[in-house]
Amino acid sequence: MVQNKSVIFLASPTEYPVPGEHFAVETRELNAELKENDVLVRNLYLSLDPYMRGRMRDSHVKSYVPSYPIGQPVSGGGVSEVTESKNPAFPIGSIVTGMVGWEEYTLVSGGQGLRVIPNARDSKIPLSAYIGVLGMPGMTAYSSLKIIGQPKAGETIFISAAAGAVGQLVGQMAKKLGLRVIGSVGSDDKLDFLLKELKFDAAFNYKKGSILDNLKAAAPQGIDIYYENVGGEQLEAALDVLNIHGRIVACGMISQYNTPNPYGVKNLMNIVGKRITMRGFIVSDFAEQCGADFAKDVGTWLVKGEIVYKEDIAVGLDNAPDAFVGMLQGKNFGKQVVKVADL
């Protein structure tokens, strides 16, 4: 038996989840008896992503990912060290990435979904990158911008939540492709980051003034792509400003996840009149088509210092629930990660 501090899912929230009410830290005993092919990992970093809010829904509501079972740890992407193994693919001491619980140790049945990070101990790349720029958020940005966005040099892209895990990468990739890049964020610190560090062409704080007026001022020639992370009023403004044959990459709508009264978008007629394509996706849709190019391109850019990736690292499992709620409220500055333990 292993003492295992965990973040347990307790109940479905209808608005923002509340630590202690909807999820809480508990220490449980883990029966670490491994069967053939099982792997026990010690978790180092956890990825906190907005889509996880959807997994906190009532289990009767169907979706593309299962809801979290009540009484079990919250789970998501992580970087971990193998501490026991009955699986030859994952020897003890190897560093892996995959789906793990929000807990100190996870028993991964059959080693399912794990992937070894080669040379992880000697690399200059921080381990948290494997759940960020080199992981799901990076692949999300890279593949969807390319396949749904169909970006062309000279076009203009507008990105909401542009300092977030995905948005900051979409912006930098679009700059590399020769687009004019506009971002919206929720604080002046983030605004500075977009303009000064990421070299966006224009940006605005959506909490100051009219979103539509800000977007119109930033995009006098309209926009060709809207990279959608927020929904609601920002989507409505984008629809007004999109050009003929514009594309909306529907990655997420974080403004709509924590309210029982979602925003009603009134100008969808623009989709007809301006022949717009709006398309949702999940990252696995594009794995086959883009996976190899993503690893090569983004890995190279990162090592050469051609892209920046800002992370917001909360330390300790005890802080995971607050960090998650903060992320849903836009308090994180960069990709939200929880550091569970040192390597």
Residues within the interface to a second copy (CB under 8 A): 54, 63-64, 231, 235, 244, 250-253, 256-257, 262-282, 285
Can you tell me the distance from the alpha carbon of 146 to that of 174, in angstroms, rounded to the nearest whole number? 9
Closest CB to a second copy among 17 and 78? 17
**Which residue's structure tokens are 């979904």?**
113
The least CB distance from residue 49 to a second copy, in Å, is 13
The helix/strand/coil state of 147 is helix
Q: Buried b / exposed e across 268-288, counting CB within 10 Å, b at 16+?
A: eebeeeeebebeeeebeebee
Which contiguous run of DSSP H or E holds residue 322? helix 320-328
Q: Roughly what angle, to the nearest 10 degrees, separates helices 167-176 and 136-144?
A: 40
The least CB distance from residue 261 to a second copy, in Å, is 8
CB-count exposure of residue 260 (10 Å: 0-12, 13-18, 19+): exposed
Residues in the chain: 343
8 A C-beta contact, residue 135 and residue 113: no
Closest CB to a second copy among 91 and 262? 262
**What does the block give as tokens for 2?**
């292993």
Closest CB to a second copy among 94 and 140? 140
The least CB distance from residue 62 to a second copy, in Å, is 10
Q: Which H, E and C letters describe 43-105, residue by residue?
A: EEEEECCCHHHHHCCCCCCCCCCCCCCCCCECEEEEEEEEEEECCCCCCCCCEEEEEEECECE
The least CB distance from residue 277 to a second copy, in Å, is 4
The least CB distance from residue 191 to a second copy, in Å, is 26
The least CB distance from residue 207 to a second copy, in Å, is 22
Handedness of CA 229, 250, 172, 335 (dihedral sign): positive
The least CB distance from residue 29 to a second copy, in Å, is 36
Closest CB to a second copy among 281 and 333? 281
Closest CB to a second copy among 265 and 343? 265
In this structure, which amino acid lies at residue 298? V
Closest CB to a second copy among 85 and 229? 229
The least CB distance from residue 34 to a second copy, in Å, is 35
Closest CB to a second copy among 237 and 320? 237
Closest CB to a second copy among 54 and 126? 54
8 A C-beta contact, residue 267 and residue 236: yes
